[in-house]
Amino acid sequence: MFLFEKAVVGSRRYWSWIGILLALILAGFLFYLRQLHYGLGITGLSRDVTWGLYIAQFTFLVGVAASAVMVVLPYYLHDHKAFGKITILGEFLAICAVTMCMLFVLVDMGQPMRVLNVLIYPTLNSIMFWDMVSLAGYLLLNAIIALVTLRAELKDMPPPEWIKPVIVVSIPWAVSIHTVTAFLYSGLPGRSFWLSALLAPRFLASAFSSGPALLILLTLAMRRLGKFDPGPQAIQKVSLIVTYAMIINVFFLLMELFTVFYSRIPEHMEHFDFLFAGSGGQTMLVPWMWASVLLAAASLVLLIVPRYRKNEKILAVTCGMVFLSIWIDKGLGLIVGGFVPSPLGAITRYVPTLPEMFITLAIWGVGFLMVTVFYKITLAVRESMEALGARWS
């Protein structure tokens, strides 16, 4: 089945990594069983902060999934050869990220066994229905594309012609998943923090910086651990994408801040006040938010100055900073900040509980496990090709 035989041979280091991930997944799964039995009261969520870590991870990871388009588009639409080796990595990353998204939505549901109600009673006016459609479609598209192109690579043949239109469709589809995810939030009348037409563009800009930053980190790791050759230009080209996207991301955030603070409409300012200064004695997110700002500012300097960007050691650190900055912004602040203060002005403390964190880690574990297996397969295919090539030459 789909080259999986290539993922079950590996070094001791490979298997200990897999073992760690499996242990993490098992621990989280046990906590999830507990949550199923006890209820979502096991989390730090409450009457006023009804979505937290799970939904925030979902939102962040939709961005990572969508960001595959940043390598797919230049490679397939503009025949940008530099991305020839890493495009498949982007597609696999998208598959893993979408799977994680679905798991995060599932663990957040109060009645997960009723999830199929969304299909039994399709509700066209609900953005959540469309989000499900777009995510499932995106998963399917990327699975087909990655499978077909990798198979072709294994046979040393160009991919079949019919896959081209599928790839073309996957490009706007990638944009759609993050746009629809932004619509989940930006169309709610009582939540002024999210009620901004800029939310979807901001989502895309932050996705197109954090996702490719992760791709650079993964590619560097693979080159080091598995002697993967991404080609001479790939990493530098992707870092340019990260740079532009990060500039646009910070620019959009500043636009938001201007409108909110120059208009001085209290219900729009209150959320930013809570996040960056704390209110009602609740300051739990303040250090995180400022860390995100500082990481963003520092990473911008390191990205924009060519000398730093071209140094791969510094670039690796920079990419880590970009990823962390945006993870804090979207994976913590964006969701919780929208709920505090509540529409009635309540300031509520939200701190994820231990079970909640373990369940979250387990889903990240699933993602990393999938990335590891898929990249291992890719590496094995490439290696066998090279071996073949060596024998023939």
Partner 1 sequence: MKIRRRTFLGIAGLSALAVAEQKILGRVAGQGRNEASPRATGSQTARWAMVIDLRACLEKEGCTDCIAACHKVHNVPDFRNAAHEVKWTWKEPFERAFPGQKSRYAGQALQGGPVLVLCNHCDKPPCVRVCPTKATWKRADGIVMMDWHRCIGCRYCIAACPYGSRSFNWLDPRPQIRDLKADFPTRSKGVVEKCNFCEERLAAGKPPACVEACPERALVFGDLEDPASRVRELLRSRYAIRRKPELGTEPEIYYLV
Within 10-49, which residues bind partner 1 (CB under 8 A)? 38-41, 45-48
**Which residue from 210, 276, 292 is spatially nearest to 246, judged by alpha carbons?**
210
Question: Do residues 341 and 57 lie in contact, with contact meaning Cβ atoms separated by under 8 Å?
Answer: no
- The residues near 226 (Cβ < 8 Å, ≥ 6 apart) are 375, 376, 379
The answer to whether 4 contacts partner 1 (rule: CB under 8 A) is no
Phi, psi dihedrals of residue 121, rounded to the nearest 5°: -120, 65
The answer to whether 51 contacts partner 1 (rule: CB under 8 A) is yes
Within 300-329, which residues bind partner 1 (CB under 8 A)? none
Residue of the chain from 279, 283, 311, 342 that contacts partner 1 (CB under 8 A): 342
* Helix (H/G/I), strand (E/B), else coil: 127: helix
To the nearest 10 degrees (0 to 180), the angle between helices 53-66 and 87-108 is 160
The answer to whether 125 contacts partner 1 (rule: CB under 8 A) is yes
How far apart CA 16 and CA 4 sit, in angstroms, is: 18
Query: Minimum distance from CB of 190 to partner 1 (Å)?
Result: 3
Residue of the chain from 132, 250, 336, 379 that contacts partner 1 (CB under 8 A): 132
Tokens standing for residue 237: 């080209």
**Which residue from 294, 283, 361 is spatially nearest to 53, judged by alpha carbons?**
361
Return the CA Rg of the chain.
21
The maximal CA–CA distance of the chain, rounded, in angstroms, is 74
Query: Minimum distance from CB of 184 to partner 1 (Å)?
Result: 8
How far apart CA 189 and CA 257 sit, in angstroms, is: 20
Residue of the chain from 22, 77, 115, 254 that contacts partner 1 (CB under 8 A): 115
Residue 168 or 269: which CB sits closer to partner 1? 269
Degrees (nearest 5) of the Cα angle 183, 101, 32?
A: 125
Residue of the chain from 108, 150, 202, 309 that contacts partner 1 (CB under 8 A): 108
Query: Minimum distance from CB of 300 to partner 1 (Å)?
Result: 32
Quick one: which segment of 153-161, 169-177, 241-249, 342-350 binds partner 1 (CB under 8 A)?
Answer: 342-350
Length of the chain in terms of residues written: 393
DSSP letter at 282?
B
Residues in binding contact with partner 1, number by CB under 8 A:
45
Query: Minimum distance from CB of 324 to partner 1 (Å)?
Result: 27
The answer to whether 123 contacts partner 1 (rule: CB under 8 A) is yes
Quick one: which segment of 17-25, 106-114, 246-254, 302-310 binds partner 1 (CB under 8 A)?
Answer: 106-114
The answer to whether 198 contacts partner 1 (rule: CB under 8 A) is no
Within 255-294, which residues bind partner 1 (CB under 8 A)? 267
- Site for partner 1, rule CB under 8 A: 38-41, 45-48, 50-51, 105, 108-112, 114-115, 117-118, 120-121, 123, 125-129, 132, 184-185, 187-191, 267, 338-339, 342-346, 348
